[in-house]
Amino acid sequence: MSEQQVETPPSQEHHEGGFRPIAELGRDNSKGGPHYGEFIEQVRGLMDRVRLASPTDEIALEAIAELKKLNERLDEVVTDEWSAPSWHRTDLPARGNLTLPPYLVDQADREGVRARITFRTFHLGGNGAAHGGHIALGFDDLLGMTAAVHTRAVTRTAYLHVDYRSITPLNTELAVHGWVERVEGRKVFVRATLHDGERLCAEANGLFLMLKPGQQ
């Protein structure tokens, strides 16, 4: 896989801050084929196992050989950022984006975003708790969605502040609620909470900026 495939600049067609135009999102959930979701799930399962694996040298060498074969096979279908299904498949958890903790959206409108997110074994920080960085990542993506849905504009994160209120458990479906507090010109001020039942695990507030035409 080449760096160019990852860093290819947006074309005139994809000019909204280096993101896919909002009008395109969710229009084609066939990209990647009918088994793309299971493909992503199996990779997530691999990541979970590797996080806690302590392989013998024999198993490590066997896994390395299999992974090399798989990577060579996948090299045949690697495309550029704009053509990849990842982050495009709105029918899948986290839009099919492997880099995000998986979540399912129950509400996304001007009133806010409500979602169910699960931090898996891969997201382990220590002593059975989710890593704070992964929690922040989940907030960042869902608050970006909150700002975009509210304004119908592409935004980028200016800042994100997270307060960790209690332990965030792994492999548990948690509730995220994000909403816009106010909009001042291009500035979108947002807030969010993360709950395990009635218990507040973390909360966040941030500032997202609506991009000017052609701005990245």
How many degrees, rounded to 5, is the angle at CA 177 between CA 139 and CA 190?
Answer: 60
Longest Cα–Cα distance of the chain, Å, equals: 60
The least confident of 3-7, 53-57, 102-106, 147-151 is 3-7
Do residues 213 and 154 make contact, with C-beta atoms less than 8 angstroms apart?
no
How far is the C-alpha of 171 from the C-alpha of 168, rounded, in Å? 10
Predicted structure pTM score? 0.88
Mean pLDDT of the chain: 90
Do residues 192 and 126 make contact, with C-beta atoms less than 8 angstroms apart?
no
At residue 60 the predicted structure's pLDDT band, cuts being 50, 70 and 90, is very high
How far is the C-alpha of 18 from the C-alpha of 9, rounded, in Å? 7
How far is the C-alpha of 178 from the C-alpha of 192, rounded, in Å? 4
The reported pLDDT for the residue numbered 88 is 83
At residue 2 the predicted structure's pLDDT band, cuts being 50, 70 and 90, is low
Q: Which of 208, 103, 105 is nearest to 151 (CA)?
A: 208
At residue 3 the predicted structure's pLDDT band, cuts being 50, 70 and 90, is low
How far is the C-alpha of 17 from the C-alpha of 155, rounded, in Å? 8
Do residues 86 and 94 make contact, with C-beta atoms less than 8 angstroms apart?
no
Region 79-106 average pLDDT: 92
Do residues 103 and 137 make contact, with C-beta atoms less than 8 angstroms apart?
no
Do residues 178 and 216 make contact, with C-beta atoms less than 8 angstroms apart?
no
Whether the pLDDT of residue 126 is over 60: the answer is yes
Phi, psi of 197, rounded to the nearest 5 degrees: 65, -125
Whether the pLDDT of residue 67 is over 90: the answer is yes
